Amino acid sequence: MELARVVARYSDGRVAKGSTENFYPHKDSFDLFTADKPSGEAIKIFIKELKAVFFVRDFIGNPAYNERKDYIEGEKPSGSKVKVTFVDNEVLVGSNYNANRYGFFFSPTDPNSNNMRVFAVSSAVKRGCFL
């Protein structure tokens, strides 16, 4: 399996950045090779401690970039449109809502976002609705 670059955001605000080859939405944990020690030993990440897992293009991103949170009229994403509000009041909008026991995947509305897809952990979601 190919390594995926991820940012794991914990419910308590901590962040872990690195790569994984064994993230599965139906599993309760995955291994993360941290960005600061990519060839070192992996750390175990437990889904129940997280807010979300962000599958990213790179670890730096562009803090000045203003990500679009709405669909452009006529834009037809694959899957259902969804708006997710986390318990910390962060709001993300995307498509392909597919809930399972631990959470659900969706793709951000903005194709230029550093986030290619997001796995939102159900326990960290205050509200989710279809648009």
Residue 79 counted as domain residue: no
Residues 57, 33: Cα–Cα separation, whole Å: 16
Cβ proximity of 114 and 39 under 8 Å? no
Cβ proximity of 31 and 16 under 8 Å? no
Residues 63, 97: Cα–Cα separation, whole Å: 26
Residue 73 counted as domain residue: no
Question: Which range marks the domain in which residue 108 is found?
Answer: 4-68+97-124
The pLDDT value recorded for residue 72 is: 87
Question: How many domains does the chain contain in total?
Answer: 1
The pLDDT value recorded for residue 75 is: 85
Q: What is the CATH number of the domain that holds 44?
A: 2.30.30
Residue 129 counted as domain residue: no
Low-confidence residues of the chain: pLDDT under 70: 1, 38
Cβ proximity of 80 and 130 under 8 Å? yes
Identity of residue 15 = V
Cβ proximity of 84 and 105 under 8 Å? no
The pLDDT value recorded for residue 123 is: 94
The pLDDT value recorded for residue 38 is: 63
pLDDT digits (tens, 9 = 90+) for 89-114: 999 999 987 777 799 999 999 999 99
Sign of torsion over alpha carbons 39, 22, 62, 90: negative
